[in-house]
């Protein structure tokens, strides 16, 4: 609502062009109808933002890339992975295997692995029983004796990524790191993530992390420079394609 009010105020003030910078698109997971009478909230919010006056959108790590099609205005979609990759490369980890916590995240994990010197890829085979409750079955790929890097777009309750980490430990992974752009951290995420199953939980500041939610294994990286450079390129009408992934 704050964003809509600001957009409306700018529109009524005769702004020439309005770009809405949305680091975390909070309704992205409700992007399709899976049952009967339910709202496609991602599309509804796109309509609201457009009608309020936005001429362009800058978003980061949308849950589904096809959400870009919900907007009838230009949308620049950038990723938080370059910031996380720079941090991991600086740690000089050995024997890395990049792990997707579910089949749906394979494309993301594959792109991430390519930037880590073509690291091998593993996949967690998962069956979700009910909302926010995940049952992990097995690992597809070799993780024994390796440093496993779990990659996802967000961590909500932490159930999926915590169960994945436990399974990786059981399969012989030497170390387990969790990486995600958006730290949603709905309860009981903090308890799960700080239980000692991760060497580090690496996130960005697209969502501010409260002091009460911080724990010793948590690493919060800033995407300010990435967003700032993208905003400047949009303002100058230059290309942002090189920053997409």
Pairing label, strands 200-204, 147-155? unpaired
| Beta bridge partners of residue 154, listed in sequence order | 182
Secondary structure class of 54 (helix, strand, coil): coil
* 230, two tokens: 């993208």
* 240, two tokens: 């942002």
State the catalytic residue, choosing from 33, 126, 144, 166.
126
**Residue spans of beta strands (DSSP E) within the chain:** 19-22, 56-60, 75-78, 96-100, 121-130, 133-140, 147-155, 175-183, 200-204, 218-221
Secondary structure class of 104 (helix, strand, coil): helix
d(CA 96, CA 174): 10
Is the preceding omega at residue 216 within 30 degrees of 0, hence cis? no
**126 belongs to the catalytic site:** yes
Give φ, ψ of 238 to 5 degrees: -105, 175
Q: Which residues have a catalytic role annotated?
A: 126
């Amino acid at each position: 609502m704050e964003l809509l009010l600001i957009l409306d105020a700018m529109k009524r003030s005769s702004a020439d062009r309005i770009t809405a910078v949305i680091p975390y698109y909070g309704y992205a997971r409700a992007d399709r109808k899976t049952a009967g009478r339910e709202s496609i909230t991602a599309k509804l919010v796109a309509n609201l933002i457009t009608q309020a006056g936005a001429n362009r959108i800058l978003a980061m790590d949308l849950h589904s890339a096809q959400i870009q099609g919900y907007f009838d205005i230009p949308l620049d979609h950038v990723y938080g992975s370059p910031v996380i990759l720079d941090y991991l490369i600086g740690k000089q980890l050995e024997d890395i295997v990049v792990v997707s916590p579910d089949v749906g995240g394979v494309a993301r994990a594959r792109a991430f692995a390519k930037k880590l010197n073509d690291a091998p890829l593993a996949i967690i085979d998962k069956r979700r029983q009910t909302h926010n409750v995940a049952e992990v079955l097995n690992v597809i790929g070799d993780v024994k004796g390796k440093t496993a890097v779990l990659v996802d777009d967000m961590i909500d309750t932490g159930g999926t990524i915590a169960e994945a980490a436990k399974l990786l430990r059981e399969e012989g992974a030497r170390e387990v790191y969790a990486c995600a752009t958006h730290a949603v951290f709905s309860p009981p995420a903090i308890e799960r993530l700080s239980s000692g199953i991760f060497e580090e939980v690496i996130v960005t500041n697209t969502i501010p992390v409260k002091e009460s939610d911080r724990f010793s294994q948590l690493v919060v990286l800033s995407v300010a420079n990435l967003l700032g450079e993208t905003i400047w390129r949009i303002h100058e009408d230059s290309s942002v394609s090189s920053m997409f992934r």
